[in-house]
A and B are shown apart, each in its own frame.
Chain A
Amino acid sequence: MNGRKLMVAMTAVVTVLMGSVTYGAVAQEAVQRYVRYSYQGSTAYGVVRGEVIQQLDGPPYESRTATGVEVALADVALLAPAEPSKVIAVGLNYLSHLGSRPPSEYPGLFAKLPTSIIGPDAAIEIPPDAHNVHYEGELVVVIGKKARNVSPEEARDFVFGVTAGNDISERDWQGDDLQWFRAKASDTFGPIGPAIVTGLDYNDLHVQTRVNGELRQSESSSDLLFGVDEIVSYVSHYVTLLPGDLIFTGTPGSTQAMQPGDVVEIEVAGVGVLRNPVVRKGS
């Protein structure tokens, strides 16, 4: 099959999937909340049981063996719930965010960096020469198994869970630079958390963004142009996904510049609230 034929075939698959109203059976698995935290100077992964965290002996997407150690949720500082080897993102994936731009026939992917990832309550640092840094509230997929050439139908088996994310973006750099490296991947430009949640129907989760308590973005992941399973499948045809890798699925609606002192909250239904303050770097 040559490239053009495959492209047509993939577009047809995508069209069929987008046209369908219902997705397959979901949420078979019990809902679990996984966190990474720091407590008394050391860091660990754990699973949340009510007000208690049961410590695990590794990342939940690699190992789910409890060590027997428990700590009160109130006593820890939560960290980014994953340590990805790759951070991938989808651009222009809600009609409400397209403006006058036409929808793409296949997902518009870009890369962020592991060093851009921060956790709940960590500061989003605006670089000294940045003047137009926007929030982008998003549903984020966490990969659970090595995924290579998987179909949309198989993709669910390779998704460990989901979290909330803020795909911080410097709009001037995004418009002017050769590629989006510093616009999307500067240090602290990828807050995620507060937990990775498994067993949710990620095809219908409400995503909300608030700045200083004021609602700025509000839409369901059911409006994603390319859904989670299609994105995972598409990526895996080019790039092998590994456990812990993240995919930011795209942001809805419009966004605005943040100012030092702002507090940005991304809330994903079933996941919780990811809250980060904004500061000027070096201040």
Chain B
Amino acid sequence: MTMRSRTGFCAVMSSRSSPGPPYDSPEPTGRTVAAREAHLLAPCEPSKVLAVGLNYRSHLDGRPLPDPPGIFIKLPTSIVGPGDPIVLPADAGNVHYEGELVIVIGRRAHEVSAAAAGEYVFGVTAGNDVSERDWQRDDLQWFRAKGCDTFGPIGPLIATDLDYGNLHLQTRVNGEVRQEQNTNDLVCGVDDIVSYISSYATLLPGDVIFTGTPGSTQALQNGDVVEVEIEGIGVLRNTVLRP
């Protein structure tokens, strides 16, 4: 398991900080810091942020399953880490949480098969694909609905060697459970997603893919605390802020 703090990238097991991202340079520097003393940041710095829409049957609500997978683009500037605020834009009136399993790419992936895709996945983390539903419905594309600053919390860490096809996912708002599902219910699984995207866009180390959200979602209010918890990864906790 790896995490990023203000002082560097750390392997949690050894608490030794290393100078580069774990997907690029996993050699420890020899320096250590107590995990509880580090301020955690988003655990990676992606060059691109992709996401899958309508990827759990429980989230379809009458809509047809997308064929091919419904890939869309979020932005690197939307990424924030554990504890960072989700900032509601001044003119946003209907901003929803979306708890999701997030894939972190480990190697440059171009036209890889689903069978080989696992070799290109570095690990997984938890994510919140924050979405403005009115803009999502009305705008030409989902650019601002999905790509606003702070609309992509991820963390608290990247976990490797988990069975990402069978992880329990839960979203809580102010402690109340709002979403709950296992990643084995993903319509398009992690390996198929990585393979599909790589036939069009080359994936690079550190790139992240939000895999889709289950069930139904509701609008967030100023002061709400949203937690996305994934088995084996931990809890990603962010507070909603209307400036």
Q: A181-B71, A181-B73, A238-B148 are in contact. Are A115 and B201 (CB under 8 A)?
A: yes
Q: A3-B93, A178-B54, A238-B147 are in contact. Are A109 and B200 (CB under 8 A)?
A: no
**Besides the contacts A181-B201, A186-B201, A238-B89, what 14 more A-B pairs have beta carbons closer than 8 Å?**
A1-B90, A2-B91, A3-B91, A91-B140, A109-B144, A111-B73, A111-B147, A112-B73, A177-B66, A179-B53, A187-B200, A237-B89, A238-B144, A239-B78
Complex interface residues of chain A between 161 and 186 (CB less than 8 A to chain B) = 177-182, 185-186
Residues of chain A with a CB closer than 8 A to B143's CB: 88, 109-111
* Cα(A187)–Cα(B147), bound, Å: 21
Tell me the smallest distance from the CB of A112 to a CB of chain B, in Å.
Answer: 8
* Cα(A185)–Cα(B74), bound, Å: 12
Residues of chain B with a CB closer than 8 A to A3's CB: 91-93, 134
Complex interface residues of chain A between 99 and 119 (CB less than 8 A to chain B) = 104, 108-116
Contact partner of A115 (CB less than 8 A), chosen from B48, B70, B78, B199, is B48
Asked if A127 is at the interface of the complex by the 8 Å CB criterion, the answer is: yes
Q: How many B residues are at the interface, by size bracket?
A: 35 or more
Asked if A86 is at the interface of the complex by the 8 Å CB criterion, the answer is: yes
Q: Could you jot down 16 A-B contacts, CB within 8 Å?
A: A1-B90, A2-B93, A3-B134, A109-B141, A111-B73, A148-B149, A177-B68, A177-B70, A178-B53, A178-B66, A179-B72, A181-B50, A185-B201, A187-B200, A237-B90, A239-B78
Q: Which of B75, B91, B143 gathers most chain A CB within 10 Å?
A: B143
* Cα(A184)–Cα(B42), bound, Å: 28
* Cα(A91)–Cα(B199), bound, Å: 25
* Cα(A115)–Cα(B199), bound, Å: 13
B200 and A127 contact, CB distance less than 8 A? yes
* Cα(A104)–Cα(B147), bound, Å: 20
Q: Which of A6, A88, A178 gathers most chain B CB within 10 Å?
A: A178
Asked if A225 is at the interface of the complex by the 8 Å CB criterion, the answer is: no
Please list the residues of chain B having a beta carbon within 8 angstroms of any beta carbon in chain A. 47-48, 50, 53-54, 66, 68, 70-73, 75-78, 89-93, 110, 134, 139-144, 147-149, 199-202, 204
Contact partner of B140 (CB less than 8 A), chosen from A108, A181, A237, A240, is A108
Asked if A92 is at the interface of the complex by the 8 Å CB criterion, the answer is: yes
Label chain B's interface by main secondary structure: loop
Closest B residue to A186 by beta carbon equals: B200
Label chain A's interface by main secondary structure: loop
Complex interface residues of chain A between 1 and 49 (CB less than 8 A to chain B) = 1-3, 6-7, 10
* Cα(A109)–Cα(B140), bound, Å: 7
A238 and B72 contact, CB distance less than 8 A? no
Closest B residue to A149 by beta carbon equals: B90
Asked if A133 is at the interface of the complex by the 8 Å CB criterion, the answer is: no
* Cα(A123)–Cα(B50), bound, Å: 25
Q: Which of B78, B110, B142 gathers most chain A CB within 10 Å?
A: B142
8 nearest A-B pairs in the assembled complex, by CB-CB distance: A178-B70, A108-B140, A179-B72, A110-B141, A6-B91, A109-B143, A111-B73, A181-B71
Asked if A78 is at the interface of the complex by the 8 Å CB criterion, the answer is: no
Residues of chain A with a CB closer than 8 A to B70's CB: 177-179
* Cα(A186)–Cα(B147), bound, Å: 19
Tell me the smallest distance from the CB of A216 to a CB of chain B, in Å.
Answer: 24
* Cα(A168)–Cα(B126), bound, Å: 33
Tell me the smallest distance from the CB of B79 to a CB of chain A, in Å.
Answer: 11
Residues of chain B with a CB closer than 8 A to A114's CB: 47-48
Q: Which of A1, A114, A148, A179 gathers most chain B CB within 10 Å?
A: A179
Tell me the smallest distance from the CB of A140 to a CB of chain B, in Å.
Answer: 17
A113 and B77 contact, CB distance less than 8 A? no
Residues of chain A with a CB closer than 8 A to B142's CB: 179
Residues of chain A with a CB closer than 8 A to B76's CB: 85-86
Tell me the smallest distance from the CB of A267 to a CB of chain B, in Å.
Answer: 27
* Cα(A91)–Cα(B75), bound, Å: 18
Asked if A242 is at the interface of the complex by the 8 Å CB criterion, the answer is: yes
Q: A108-B141, A109-B144, A110-B141 are in contact. Are A179 and B201 (CB under 8 A)?
A: no
* Cα(A10)–Cα(B199), bound, Å: 40
B144 and A115 contact, CB distance less than 8 A? no
